[in-house]
Chain A
Amino acid sequence: EPEVTQTPSHQVTQMGQEVILRCVPISNHLYFYWYRQILGQKVEFLVSFYNNEISEKSEIFDDQFSVERPDGSNFTLKIRSTKLEDSAMYFCASSALEGLEQFFGPGTRLTVL
């Protein structure tokens, strides 16, 4: 069964450093998403991406964040200068069509020290 994969599973970084989280969505999916979940809190939408551009983004997704699809398979989330409050689990998801079911990757746990 096709699945979304994410690397790394855990990333530890110093405050102010840049991090890149990587995702490989399901191969025939066209819509890609990033969500985050701070420990003990609900899952929150960050950004949606389609046809090589951002479709929608939340207030959390400020200028420190960017997304890219550098090739035909990877989808990345970059945080330019990490803050302590960026510590969370980051989930990538993909869907075949907008509004249809989204399938989530296993997540990257980001710890900012």
Chain B
Amino acid sequence: RKEVEQDPGPFNVPEGATVAFNCTYSNSASQSFFWYRQDCRKEPKLLMSVYSSGNEDGRFTAQLNRASQYISLLIRDSKLSDSATYLCVVNGGSGNTGKLIFGQGTTLQVKP
């Protein structure tokens, strides 16, 4: 099983649509979970941290299911500017090690 697994997509959606991305991770000892966004040939930019209770930031909602080792990201009311690759990221190893393990990314294309 891959350390962090994501559906690569691409997801092609119209503006205003709701889209959901899923991710699974293999290391049950992981403590920190994140969604990053990466535009073409640019650096990963932190979108949000993911907490056990779930968290929301504007149009973005992240959920974590530790029992299933599953993380999700929901984007409501998609904008053209949301077009990017979304990276599921988990800290590797035991405890709160700083080493981040990245998924391959899910590509989103929002069309007018």
Point out residues on A near B: beta carbons under 8 Å: 31, 33, 35, 41-45, 48, 50, 55-56, 58, 89, 91, 95, 98-107
**A104 and B98 in contact, given A42-B104, A45-B92, A99-B32 (Cβ under 8 angstroms):** no
User: Given A102-B98, A105-B43, is A56 in contact with B93 using a C-beta cutoff of 8 Å?
Assistant: yes
Q: Is A99 within 8 A of B46, CB to CB? A: no
- Rounded to whole Å, the gap between the CB of B98 and the closest CB of chain A is 5
Instruction: Indicate if B13 sits at the interface (CB-CB under 8 A).
Output: no
Whether A101 contacts B31 in the complex (CB less than 8 A), given A33-B98, A55-B98, A56-B97, comes out as: no
Check A56–B99 contact: CB distance below 8 A.
Answer: yes
For chain B, the count of residues having a C-beta within 8 Å of the partner chain is: 26
- Is B80 on the interface with A (CB-CB < 8 A)? no
Contact between B97 and A103, CB atoms less than 8 A apart: no
Chain B: residues with CB nearer than 8 A to chain A? 31-32, 34, 38, 41-46, 49, 87, 91-93, 95-105
Main secondary structure of the interface of B (DSSP, over half): loop
Given A56-B93, A99-B91, A100-B32, A45-B99 contact (CB < 8 Å):
yes
A42 adjacent to B102 (CB under 8 Å):
yes
User: For A33, A104, A105, which residue has the most chain B Cβ atoms within 10 angstroms?
Assistant: A104
Q: Would you give 30 A-B contacts (Cβ < 8 Å), ordered by A?
A: A31-B98, A33-B100, A35-B100, A41-B104, A42-B103, A42-B104, A43-B38, A43-B44, A43-B100, A43-B102, A45-B92, A45-B99, A45-B101, A48-B97, A48-B98, A55-B97, A56-B99, A95-B98, A98-B96, A98-B97, A99-B31, A99-B32, A99-B91, A99-B98, A101-B49, A102-B46, A102-B98, A103-B46, A105-B43, A106-B42
